Structure 1
Amino acid sequence: MNTIRTIIIDDEPLARDLIRLYLKDYTSFQIIEECANGFEGLKAIQELKPDVIFLDIEMPKVTGLEMLELLDQPPVVIFTTAYQEHAIKAFDLNALDYLLKPFSKDRFKKAIDKIVTRIESKTVDPNIIKDFIKEPPLPHGTIDRIVVKTINSIKIIPASEIKYLEAQDDYVMIYTHEGKFLKQQTMKYFEHALDPAFFIRIHRSYLINVREILRIEPYEKSSYQVILKDNTTLPISRTGYSLLKEKLNF
C-alpha cells in the first residue's frame, strides 16, 4: 500500500503522544507533522497536503470544525473528541470516523481499518465533511465568537460584536459593527449555539442581539418590527414577538 501521509492536530500533548504510539503499529502511516492548535493545523494542511488528519474538535483559538470550514479541499479526517454520546450521533449519521476520548487501542484499530478500506477502494467522498460542517454537533455550552474566512484573512468575530444574523439558504450572513460576513452554516445551529440570554430568533430569517435593539414598534395590522441602534429595521414574527416580550419583560 502507498504511504498515507498523516498530520495529528490536538492541543493536548498526551493525546498526540497516544496517537503517535498507536500509529507505530501501522507502517503505511507516515506522520509528517504535529500541530497544537487549529491555526497551526490549517497552515500545515495547506502546505503539506496530507492524506489523513487526526483532528481534535475542542481546541482554543480555532476549533477543529472551524479549521475545516476554512479549507477548500479538506483531507480525510478521523475526529478525536470528548463529545457526549448524543452529539456523536451527528458523526454516525454522516458516516464520519471518530475516536471518543479516552479511546483504546482496539477502538483505534477499527478507525484505522475503516480509513484504510476507504482509501484503498477510493470511496472517500469529499462532500461528507462539507455537508457535516453545515450543521455540526452543538458545542458544549455556548460559543463566544464566530470564525469566518475572508478573501485575505481569517476573521474572528466576538459574539458581542454581532448585531444580527440573516438566513440565506445554506448560509448565514453575520452583520457586525465592522461589516457583514458570510458563513456556510445553518441558522438553527446559531440559534442553539449563541447565548440565549442575548440572542433571540425573532423571525424565520433573523436572529438578533437584543443589546442592539433601539425600539419595537407596530407594523401594519397585528404585526411588529424591531429597529436596531443603527436604524436597521427587521420584521418580527408572532413567535419572535412572544420571545421578545418574555426576554425583555414588557
Structure 2
Amino acid sequence: MRIKTILVDDEGHAREKLSALLKNFGYIEILATCKNGLEAINTINEYCPELVFLDIEMPEIDGFRVIDNIECEPLPYFIFVTAYSEYAVKAFEVEALDYIHKPLDEDRLQVSLNRFLKEKDRHTSQYDRKIKSALHNIEKKNPLERFIIKKNGEYFLINSDDVLWMESDGNYVRIVTEEAKYFIRHTLSGFEECLDPSQFYRISRSVIVNIDWIIKIEDHNYGNYLVHMKNDVKQKMSKNYKSLLQEFQNF
C-alpha cells in the first residue's frame, strides 16, 4: 500500500522537515511539494493525491482557498499544518482530517497518519459536500481580495482591485480587467456573496461593477441609468438596483 501524498507549505525548511519525517513511514509516497497556494492548486488537480498536508496561512492564497479550487473527485483528505493556533477552529469547521501545530514531531505525525488510515476507507461524496459547504460559509465571512481564475488548464491570480466588472454568461461568470476577460463556472449571485459589498455593487440582474472603476452615473430612460467605466464602457443600471447611486451621492 502506497499513499499518494502532496505537501504544501510556503516555508522551505518546513517542507524539508515534513518530507524528512514522512520518509520514516514507508507507505507514504510524496508526489510533490508546493511552496504557495497557486502552485498547490495546479499540482493537486494534476495528481489527485489521496492525502495532502496543507499549510493554512500562506501569502495571497491560504489553505482554505486552495481546497475551494480543487477539482479532484473525490477530494483528497487534508491534514492542516500551521504555526497559528487561531486557525484550529476553522480547520475543523471544514472537516479537516486532522490539525497539526508546528513544530512537527514524529509522534504527533504518527497519530495523524493512524487516524487517516482508519478513516480513508469511509471517504465518500458526503465528505466533499461537507467541506465545500463549510468553505462557502468561511468565504462569506471573509470577502475575496483575489480571484483564482482557471484559463487554458492552469490557475491564475487576479487582484480584486483590478476587476472592472463581472457579468453572468449562462452557467459562467465573465470577469473583466483592463488586460483580459476570464470565465469562471459559477452563478453571479453565488459569487456576489463572496465579494466586498463596499467595493462591488450589483447594477442589474447580470452585472456587478467595481466602484473604483466608475467615472460617473447618468440618467438614461424610464428611471434607468448609465454607469460610465474608466475604460469608456457604459453599463446599464436598472432602477431596481440603485444602491450604487446612493453610494455615489454620499461622496
The normalised TM-score by structure 1 is 0.69
1:89 deviation in Å? 4.4
1:23 deviation in Å? 3.5
Q: Distance in 2 between matches of 1:89 and 1:226?
A: 45
* 1:79-98 C-alpha deviation (Å, 9 max, x unpaired): 3346674x654443332235
Q: Distance in 2 between matches of 1:204 and 1:241?
A: 13
* 1:137-185 C-alpha deviation (Å, 9 max, x unpaired): 5798972x42211244434334343112347899754233322422546
Q: Compared with structure 1, are the counterparts of its residues 182 and 142 closer, same or farther at alpha carbon in structure 2 (3 Å cutoff)? A: closer
1:39 deviation in Å? 4.8
Letter in 2 for 1:186: F
Q: Compared with structure 1, are the counterparts of its residues 139 and 60 closer, same or farther at alpha carbon in structure 2 (3 Å cutoff)? A: farther
Percent same amino acid at aligned positions? 21
Q: Which residue of 2 aligns with 1:13?
A: 12
Q: Which residue of 2 aligns with 1:112?
A: 113
Q: Which residue of 2 aligns with 1:92?
A: 92
Q: Secondary structure at the match of 1:237?
A: coil
Q: Distance in 1 between matches of 2:242 and 2:52?
A: 46
Q: Which residue of 2 aligns with 1:182?
A: 184
Q: Distance in 2 between matches of 1:155 and 1:81?
A: 24
Q: Assess if the C-alpha contact under 8 Å between 2:79 and 2:100 holds in 1.
A: no
Q: Which residue of 2 aligns with 1:237?
A: 241
Q: Assess if the C-alpha contact under 8 Å between 1:148 and 1:182 holds in 2.
A: yes
* 1:55-74 C-alpha deviation (Å, 9 max, x unpaired): 22444575545544554214
Q: Distance in 1 between matches of 2:141 and 2:15?
A: 22
Q: Distance in 2 between matches of 1:65 and 1:173?
A: 23
* 1:107-134 C-alpha deviation (Å, 9 max, x unpaired): 6555434422221334473444444554
Q: Assess if the C-alpha contact under 8 Å between 2:174 and 2:184 holds in 1.
A: yes
Q: Secondary structure at the match of 1:14?
A: helix
Q: Distance in 2 between matches of 1:160 and 1:148?
A: 15
Q: Distance in 2 between matches of 1:169 and 1:83?
A: 41
The normalised TM-score by structure 2 is 0.69
Q: Distance in 1 between matches of 2:108 and 2:57?
A: 20
* 1:174-223 C-alpha deviation (Å, 9 max, x unpaired): 2333224225463222226xxx4xx23345865422232232234678x6
Q: Secondary structure at the match of 1:189?
A: coil
1:54 deviation in Å? 1.0
Unaligned regions of 5+ residues in structure 2, if any?
A: none
Q: Compared with structure 1, are the counterparts of its residues 204 and 238 closer, same or farther at alpha carbon in structure 2 (3 Å cutoff)? A: same
Q: Secondary structure at the match of 1:16?
A: helix
1:227 deviation in Å? 0.9
- Backbone CA RMSD of aligned residues: 4.0
Q: Which residue of 1 aligns with 2:215?
A: 214
Q: Compared with structure 1, are the counterparts of its residues 208 and 82 closer, same or farther at alpha carbon in structure 2 (3 Å cutoff)? A: farther
Q: Compared with structure 1, are the counterparts of its residues 49 and 158 closer, same or farther at alpha carbon in structure 2 (3 Å cutoff)? A: closer
1:52 deviation in Å? 0.6
Q: Which residue of 2 aligns with 1:191?
A: 196
Q: Secondary structure at the match of 1:232?
A: strand
Q: Secondary structure at the match of 2:217?
A: strand
Aligned residues: 238
Q: Distance in 1 between matches of 2:79 and 2:92?
A: 12
Q: Distance in 1 between matches of 2:116 and 2:69?
A: 23
Q: Assess if the C-alpha contact under 8 Å between 1:8 and 1:55 holds in 2.
A: yes
Q: Secondary structure at the match of 1:244?
A: helix
Q: Which residue of 1 aligns with 2:160?
A: 159
Q: Compared with structure 1, are the counterparts of its residues 138 and 98 closer, same or farther at alpha carbon in structure 2 (3 Å cutoff)? A: farther
Between 133-142 and 227-236, report the one with greater CA deviation.
133-142
Q: Compared with structure 1, are the counterparts of its residues 150 and 70 closer, same or farther at alpha carbon in structure 2 (3 Å cutoff)? A: farther
